[in-house]
Amino acid sequence: MARISLSVYITAQTVNERGSDPAALRRMIDDITAVGAKKVFIETWRGGGIVEEGTLRSVKAAFEAEGFETATGIMPVRGRDPLLEGTDDWDSHKTLGGNSRWGADICYSRPWSREEIQRALKRGAAVFDEYIIDDALCTQCTCTYCREKRGDKSWVDYRQDLLVDVSREDIVGAARSVNPNIHMILKFPQWYDRLHCYGYDTARQPALFDATWIGTETRDPDTGDFGYTPQYEGFFNVRWHKDAEPNLQGAWFD
């Protein structure tokens, strides 16, 4: 049986907060060391908030000095993220999104939204050799821009075609324009048979990336959201993606 290798994902807000405080950075390194992780993903962008290149480099250097592997990531949401509550970025990037009821996913029919994603990818790729796209590369927007560009396509077809293009041009293309050899990872969420409804394409997107990962969503079952039952679905979801995507290399625990 293969050995499990643990990594930890550090959000952009945490990178900004602790990366500028030597004592806080030291505590974070010690805490992550204590759980047995050997790798960290140091996030570049989340909810419209971007980490300065100097901060990315200094946090990267601090972890590597302790023997960690390092990579970066992006959480492609426009705001309304619980991790940003109380900060200037909470719900302040409405120009990136349309009328989604989630209030977080980005409207990729807007050119300036795609330009912002490109900026984030280039920033991270200038510092790191590996980049993971966290599990929100999706949209359910039906705004004026989306309706005009959709034409006669179904919403599923339009969103999948759109996000395949975003993946190719604005994510992988943008990153490799700065760092041609960067290792690109797409993380799929655990949405079972609903992935396609919001733009994910398990047939076409994996080939654009070097690897895929899959979320398990194995959260605390003691809640009405999960019916007070353990979440075994994560196991089946991982097995399905493993069969569908030959480059599946990791799973994510929330």
Tokens of 67: 């023997």
CA angle 207, 130, 10 (to 5 degrees): 120
Domain boundaries, the chain: 7-252
End-to-end CA distance of the chain: 24
For all residues of the chain together, what is the average pLDDT?
89
Task: Identify the CA nearest to 163 among candidates 138, 195, 131.
Answer: 138
Is 97 a residue whose pLDDT tops 50? yes
Q: Where are the beta strands (DSSP E) in 33-191?
A: 39-46, 49-50, 69-75, 130-133, 183-188
pLDDT(90) > 50: no
Residue 204 confidence (pLDDT) above 60: yes
Range name among 8-22, 82-96, 130-144, 193-207 with the lowest pLDDT average? 82-96
Whether 37 and 69 have beta carbons less than 8 Å apart is answered as: no
pLDDT for res 80: 55
Query: Which residues have C-beta within 8 Å of that of residue 185, sequence separation ≥ 6?
Result: 130, 131, 132, 133, 209, 210, 211, 212, 213, 249, 250
What's the pTM? 0.90
Distances in Å between the Cα of 86 and the Cα atoms of 9, 72, 78, 89, 225 are 21, 24, 15, 8, 25
Within 13 A of 97's CA, how many CA atoms are on the CB side? 23
Q: How far is CA 149 from the centre of its chain?
A: 25
- How much is the average pLDDT of 192-212? 94
Mean pLDDT over residues 12-37, rounded? 96
Q: What is the pLDDT of residue 47?
A: 83
Q: What is the pLDDT of residue 93?
A: 58
Structurally, at CATH architecture level, domain 7-252 sits in Alpha-Beta Barrel (3.20)
